Amino acid sequence: MPAMNLLFIGDVFGRPGRRAVASILPALRKELALDLVIANAENAASGAGITEDSAQELFDAGTDLLTGGNHSWDRREGHALMDRDLRVLRPSNYPDEVPGRGVGVYNFAGEPVAVVNLLGRVYMPNVDCPFRSVDRILESLQSVTRIVIVDFHAEATSEKLGMAWYLDGRVSLLVGTHTHVQTADERILPRGTAAITDVGMTGPHDSIIGVRKELALARLRNQIPVKFQPAEGGIRLHAVFVRVDPATGRALEIRRLAREPEGGE
């Protein structure tokens, strides 16, 4: 049974991030023989939230599934999208009454694959415990699939590392998202779970985590509200490439990627 090749793309930030995916992903799908591509898209619409159009751009570029985070709710249009489109997830540890779903089971390369979206609680909204939430979810998936991918959208490095160790041997891949800075700690843990603290940001890196530098600096210096706008320069895609054994669900390889469009943008 051949290994499953998957790519997880770090937080797509606004139109520059969508351009990066459209420019870089088609060639990556061929180069890496990808079976599955997932992207965190909570910032896909102007740097805050997701809309029908921004999601469709990412699907048209070759992304299969989209995960979210605390900014998933920033666009009212996105609420209906999450309710309607099974390919768009939001964190599962929000109350059941909110739009959308936090877990999906899909078929790729002839194998069932579960994707779980979670939100951290350190310096983040007051949601249900992600550790207890994922316990319940994994129990429900035991008879469904061995391949489980978790997007843990969280602020604190310690919380994300804690989740990685907590899930070692229980999921195939744990990726941290949210901080927009790619970390250099990718590894396969002893029981077979691939993990990285933060997969990074796809979008304008000539910025302060995606935002125009002068606007972010004004907020940092003056401590008064400023309407943030996406920057434009230094377009780059951050992702991790992972190979998984479908028979066991164990990761065989994890590799960080940082790619720029051909000829630059």
| Residues classed as catalytic | 71
Tokens coding 161: 């590392």
| Helix, strand, coil shares, percent, the chain, to 5 | 30, 30, 45
Q: Could you tell me if 178 and 154 are in contact, meaning their C-beta atoms sit under 8 angstroms apart?
A: yes
How far is the C-alpha of 6 from the C-alpha of 123, rounded, in Å?
30
Alpha carbons within 13 angstroms on the beta-carbon side of residue 44 total: 31
| Burial degree of 191 (CB within 10 A; 0-12, 13-18, 19+) | exposed
